Amino acid sequence: MRRILVVGSTGAGKSTLAHELGERLGVPYHELDALHFTGPGWAQDPDFAARVAEIAATPAWVLDSYGTPDVRPLLWERADTVVWLDYPRHVVMPRVLRRSLRRTVLRERIFNGNRETLTEWFRGDHPARWAWSQYAPRRAALTALTTDPALAPLHTLRFTAPREARRWLRTIEAGRGERRKGPAG
Q: Which of 48-57, 58-67, 86-95, 103-112 has the lowest mean pLDDT?
A: 103-112
Positive or negative, the CA dihedral 97, 14, 58, 138 is negative
Q: Is the pLDDT of residue 81 over 50?
A: yes
For residues 122 and 60, the model is more confident at 60
Q: Which residues pair with 158 in a beta bridge?
A: 84
Q: How far apart are CA 119 and CA 117, in angstroms?
A: 5
Q: Is 23 helix (H, G, I), strand (E, B) or coil?
A: helix
- The pLDDT value given to residue 96: 92
Rounded Cα–Cα distance for residues 20 and 35 (Å)? 19
Residue 181 confidence (pLDDT) above 60: no
Q: pLDDT at residue 87 above 50?
A: yes
The helix (H) or strand (E) run that includes residue 178 is none
Q: For residue 75, is pLDDT > 80?
A: yes
Hey, what domains does the chain have and what are their CATH numbers?
3-170 (3.40.50.300)
Model confidence, pTM: 0.87
| C-alpha to C-alpha distance for 93 and 61, rounded to whole angstroms | 28
Q: Who wins on pLDDT, 166 or 39? A: 166
Q: In the chain, what are the helix, strand and coil shares in percent, each to the nearest 5? A: 50, 15, 35
Is 62:55 a contact under the CB 8 Å cutoff?
no
pLDDT band at 95 (very low <50, low <70, confident <90, very high): very high
List of residues 6+ apart from 149 with CB closer than 8 A: none
More confident call, 70 vs 182: 70
**The pLDDT of residue 182:** 39
What pLDDT score was predicted for residue 103? 85
Give pLDDT, residue 111.
78
Dihedral sign for Cα 72, 77, 78, 83, please: positive
Q: Is the pLDDT of residue 184 over 60?
A: no
Whole-number pLDDT of residue 138: 93
